[in-house]
Structure 1
């Protein structure tokens, strides 16, 4: 009997063309993460565009949020829409006029919100229902 008639053939698949891991600079990681955060449901499309796994992009996004990529949540912006001038609203009798140490915010629906300049940004975001861009 021939010994090699019992051996199976093994095919070796290459992981990448170069056979080595790619190295991404911090600037490239930040650019890719910001692109993936630009619109909802962009993570998978961005990962495909740069030929990286979604798991790796998810890890980079978490590092970005935690401030481990050199920038993070403190550099986030909330989208703002400039609305047409609202219709005048009749003030209630109990409303105090805004003073120099208050901030008046006129909402799109015409309602007014008067807050102190020292208000906690997290509380103000909850009052205004600002969506989380993540």
Structure 2
């Protein structure tokens, strides 16, 4: 009888190779998200390149849009209102007679809206509920 050597089909992994969760810094997340936004249809390719799931990249992109990845976090609560002098500052700020006075509002999600001064508060609240739900 011939003596056969047995090769074990068991593969031993060290603790570094077990696919543990990685902890990405906000700077790394921002870099990866910005790379994924550089061209059309780059999300999946970028996710594969860094070994992350497409859904995780989508979560990071959402956080990036809301400002949660830049260290500031989303603005919560009230934002101070600054009332400026109504006099025009330059030729581009000249007010044409008969125009409707408006207010410009920048929302926390980055959207901007211009509304007439005479807009009822209830209508403004309804608009804000649609444009920036929280």
For the criterion TM > 0.5, the same-fold answer is no
- TM-score between the two structures when normalised by the length of structure 2: 0.43
**TM-score, normalisation: structure 1:** 0.43
